[in-house]
Amino acid sequence: MTAAVPAAASARSLRPLVGVLASSAVSLTGTRVSAVALPWFVLATTGSATMTGLVAFAEMTPYVLVKALTGPLVDRLGPRVVSWTTDAVSAVAAGLVPLLHALGLLPFGLLLGVVAVIGAMRGPGDLAKSVMVPEAADRARVPLERATGLSGVTERLASTVGPAVGGGLVAVAGPMAGLVVNAAAFALGSLIIALALPRGMGRTAAPAGPAAAEQRVGYWRMFREGFAFLRAEPLLLTVIVTIGITNLLDAGFATVLVPVWAQDSGHGPAAIGLTGSAMGIAAVAGSLIAAGVAHRLPRRAVFFAGFLLAGAPRFLVLASGAPLWTVVAVFAVAGFGSGFLNPILGAVLFERVPRPLLGRVHALGDSLAWAGIPLGGLLAGAAVALVGLIPVLVASGALYVLTTGAAGFRREWREMDRLRGRAPAPADAPDRAPEPARG
């Protein structure tokens, strides 16, 4: 049962939704700038694809592990507090990289440590912002799919502006300028959450009555409740496995394969920004359409059509040696398809998970789906060093097709449309797992 917004917030208010989206836009833009600047910095200073992948591994491993473990804390402390505090720490850590580099005090081992701190803070920060979307949608009185669509638009805008700014800054002022922007973006995102969102945001969905005792149960019991719920959800588990494999491939693509392609082809860091921006602009268009009409579209068909466009073509066009304009066009088509994915995934998650369990279930699901991301850059870097760029691009594209194609035949995906709009399971008994979904 979806908990009601408290009486004090019963009047329609767009401020929480705007605040969550604005903070996400700012912090994600900074992260996307850093995603261009940091790999280029490592690649340019070391010349090693393996070391570039190691930096990505150092950031994403704590991101996934800490995110998985902080779900109960987000549910207990409230996502607003977790969001602004973790963004503030991220701002400090991100600012240390250019400062220490300017002072000549940034050996590679210390860089890995600072990047690991950033990743550890980003995990719960991203989780907290996402958890606040359903309540923000309630307060704004907008359909859940529209709110998740707008969240997708925000992410895609960040993926458009971030690579463009990052590529331009790296080309003109060097990679450290991009990392300064990242630190400033985290600081601004923290400030927006602290000032724009009402106190207690995200905690008002806690049920009254017997389930209120959840606030007093131990951390590990809360963790187990989230795990038990997720384990009994075949659709969510199937989604997690599919997204986990594609995330691994995408991580290697973004952090290693594209930078190596840009260097080998002679296009340079500006090409990274150009392709990323083309994909982001088209993804914004796709997300805007999804925000407006996704609640009327067949979810499963749209979801797999989006994956068909967004996946393998990007890998194969880089392997083909096509001219830059062709690469940009393929990335744009991929971006349009990808714009439909996250709004559907977000709506499915928020529909099926009770609000008091949302933080820990979302944390576990995201962490499992992101578990391959730390390995993506590491494996891609090692593979490129072993067999070269082109074979890795072709193999990755083929695996992308096999993963999404095979997943589409599983019957669990029918639940996307069959249970559409159904309220999540009652939140007053989190120990009781729901019945398995039936095709």
- The CATH code of the domain that includes 348 is 1.20.1250.20
Cβ atoms of residues 9 and 135 within 8 Å: no
Distance CA 136, CA 197 (A): 9
Residue 252 is assigned to a structural domain of this protein? yes
More reliable by pLDDT, 183 or 5 = 183
Residue 235 is assigned to a structural domain of this protein? yes
Q: 121-153 pLDDT, tens per residue?
A: 998 898 888 888 888 888 888 877 778 778 878
Q: 39-71 pLDDT, tens per residue?
A: 888 888 888 877 887 888 888 889 888 888 888
Selection from 1-10, 100-109, 144-153, 201-210 with the highest mean pLDDT = 100-109
Residue 181 is assigned to a structural domain of this protein? yes
Selection from 52-66, 215-229, 406-420 with the highest mean pLDDT = 52-66
- Among 227-241, 308-322, 348-362, the range scoring the smallest mean pLDDT is 348-362
- Return the pLDDT at 202: 63
- Return the pLDDT at 3: 38
Q: State phi, psi for 266 to the nearest 5 degrees.
A: 85, 5
Residue 8 is assigned to a structural domain of this protein? no
**Which H helix or E strand runs over 236?**
helix 234-252
Q: Give exposure, 239-268, as e/b (b: 16+ Cβ within 10 Å).
A: bbebbbbbbbbbbbbbbbbbbbbbbeeeee
Residue 356: which domain range? Answer: 13-203+216-418
Calculate the alpha carbon distances from 55 to 47, 102, 166, 386 in Å.
Answer: 13, 19, 17, 19
Residue 110 is assigned to a structural domain of this protein? yes
Q: 28-39 pLDDT, tens per residue?
A: 888 888 888 888
Tally of structural domains, the chain: 1
Distance CA 347, CA 293 (A): 13
- Return the pLDDT at 223: 81
More reliable by pLDDT, 407 or 56 = 56
Q: 232-285 pLDDT, tens per residue?
A: 888 888 888 888 899 999 989 988 899 899 988 888 877 887 888 888 888 888
Cβ atoms of residues 26 and 189 within 8 Å: yes
Q: State phi, psi for 189 to the nearest 5 degrees.
A: -60, -40
Assigned token pair, 308: 């068909």
The DSSP 8-state label assigned to residue 433 in this structure reads P
Look over the chain and give the mean of its residue pLDDT values, rounded to a whole number.
80
Q: 70-100 pLDDT, tens per residue?
A: 888 887 888 888 999 999 999 999 999 999 9
Instruction: Indicate whether 225 pLDDT > 50.
Output: yes
Angle between helices 108-131 and 49-69 (to 10 degrees): 40
The DSSP 8-state label assigned to residue 253 in this structure reads I
Instruction: Indicate whether 212 pLDDT > 60.
Output: no
More reliable by pLDDT, 261 or 11 = 261
Closest CA to 252 of 61, 392, 65: 392
Distance CA 273, CA 179 (A): 15
Calculate the alpha carbon distances from 423 to 2, 258, 312, 350, 434 in Å.
Answer: 6, 42, 35, 9, 13
Question: Model pTM?
Answer: 0.68
Residue 67 is assigned to a structural domain of this protein? yes
Closest CA to 115 of 180, 47, 56: 56
- Residue carrying the six token digits 């951390």: 219
pLDDT band at 314 (very low <50, low <70, confident <90, very high): very high
Distance CA 302, CA 334 (A): 14
DSSP assignment of 152-217: HHHHHHHHHHHHHHHHHHHHHH-HHHHHHHHHHHHHHHHHHHHHHSPTTTTTTTPPSGGGGGGGGS
Residue 437 is assigned to a structural domain of this protein? no
Cβ atoms of residues 119 and 59 within 8 Å: yes
Distance CA 381, CA 378 (A): 5
Instruction: Indicate whether 204 pLDDT > 90.
Output: no
Residue 439 is assigned to a structural domain of this protein? no
- Return the pLDDT at 186: 93
